[in-house]
Amino acid sequence: METASLRIQEDRIIEQIKRRIPSAEAGDLRLGIGDDAAVIRTRRGEWVVTCDQFLENVHFVATRQPADSVGYKALTRATSDVFAMGGRPRFFLLSMALPASRTGRWLEQMISGMARAARDFGLRLAGGDTARVERDISLNITVIGEIETGWVIGRAGARAGDGIYVTGRLGGAELGLRLLNRNGTMRARDRALLRPHFYPRLPVEFALWLGRKRMASAMMDISDGLSTDLSRLCARSRVAARIYARRIPKVSVPKALRNDPKFDPLTLALHGGEDYGLLFTAAPRHAKQIPARLGGTQVHCIGEIIAGSGVMMVEEDGTARELRPAGWDHFAVHSRRGER
């Protein structure tokens, strides 16, 4: 979750480091650039590793977010990248930098939320580091996952004819964020709508199933919004996508909000980030084997991969238009930063 310019800069920085670091031992490491996580290949098999920061006033506002949600979400974000590669999360390391004011009750609740996520994902803590800082909580999490050798699911394998699938409903986290950022007091019944933003649910059982079945030709998690992430998958696979607006599983928006264009369900579903569902493609021969529901996770086929480049969306009325990436890093971050 970062601005486009910073993402480009990150790629530049990592390229810079790669150039400066001694030549690669062929085949034992695939960098996480352009994929969700890195794959370490050794004679002992393969591991999926990823690290992710969750920073106060960059990724969350501590005064507006329950402490247990900070812990839950920090571990969820990092673990999502391991599931998205087809890996099975095993261990995590936690570095924390905390102001003194966050070492008491806040910390206990944060840990409680993180422990719940660890249970949900089958993760065990393998180490940590703690420092005290003047301000701004900083959590940094490394997740290590196992994977059978050669079974990694990257972003580059989508082929024309493959179906495009997503898990869960899209736009719920964005709806929660927008409600949170509205001025004024929140109605009690709207509080439940914050849950997808505070406690995003990973499709654990389905992700493990997919990791075992080897049906996905390409996969990633939806962290920056469908329009952005599907564009990335297509670019990496050198293909195009055609999706259907009516097939997209959209967040359910309360009636009272539906007239406000900020709460249009399709817009939220297309461009809202942080749902952490899976986006994957699969060859037509697998279409019937992919369950519509597994372990509480709904799976929807929203379109198909075609030759070319870019993402085309067929509207409810049947007209087709190009869908431009408009998720987190292309527009939303500026207004969000301001709102926060």
Amino acid identity of 72?
Y
- 134 binds its own copies, rule: CB under 8 A: yes
For its own copies, the closer CB: 37 or 282:
37
Alpha-carbon distance of 114 to 203, in angstroms, equals: 17
- 8 binds its own copies, rule: CB under 8 A: no
21-60 residues near its own copies, rule: CB under 8 A = 21-22, 24-25, 29, 31-32, 37-38, 40, 42, 44-45, 49-53, 55, 57-59
- 144 binds its own copies, rule: CB under 8 A: yes
DSSP state at residue 330: I
Structure tokens at 130: 């703690």
CB–CB of 176/334 below 8 Å?
no
- 338 binds its own copies, rule: CB under 8 A: no
Distances (CA, A) of 137 to 36, 99, 107, 253: 24, 7, 10, 32
Phi, psi angles (nearest 5°) of residue 304: -145, 155
124 beta partners: 91
For its own copies, the binding residue among 4, 62, 111, 314 (CB under 8 A) is 111
For its own copies, the closer CB: 184 or 338:
338
- Listed in sequence order, the residues at least 6 apart from 273 whose beta carbon sits closer than 8 Å to its beta carbon are 1, 173, 174, 222, 223, 224, 225, 228, 327, 328, 332
- 62 binds its own copies, rule: CB under 8 A: no
Stretch that binds its own copies, among 4-12, 166-174, 209-217, 220-228 (CB under 8 A): 4-12
For its own copies, the closer CB: 53 or 267:
53
Stretch that binds its own copies, among 86-94, 224-232, 238-246, 247-255 (CB under 8 A): 86-94
For its own copies, the binding residue among 64, 126, 287, 320 (CB under 8 A) is 126
For its own copies, the closer CB: 75 or 166:
75
Distances (CA, A) of 239 to 161, 228, 301: 10, 15, 17
The closest of 223, 282, 275, 270 to 50, measured between CA atoms, is 223
For its own copies, the binding residue among 130, 252, 309, 335 (CB under 8 A) is 130
303 beta partners: 164, 243
Query: What residues line the site for its own copies (CB under 8 A)?
Result: 2-3, 6-7, 9-10, 13-14, 16-18, 20-22, 24-25, 29, 31-32, 37-38, 40, 42, 44-45, 49-53, 55, 57-59, 90-91, 93-97, 103, 107-108, 111-112, 114-115, 118-119, 123-134, 136, 138, 140, 142, 144, 146
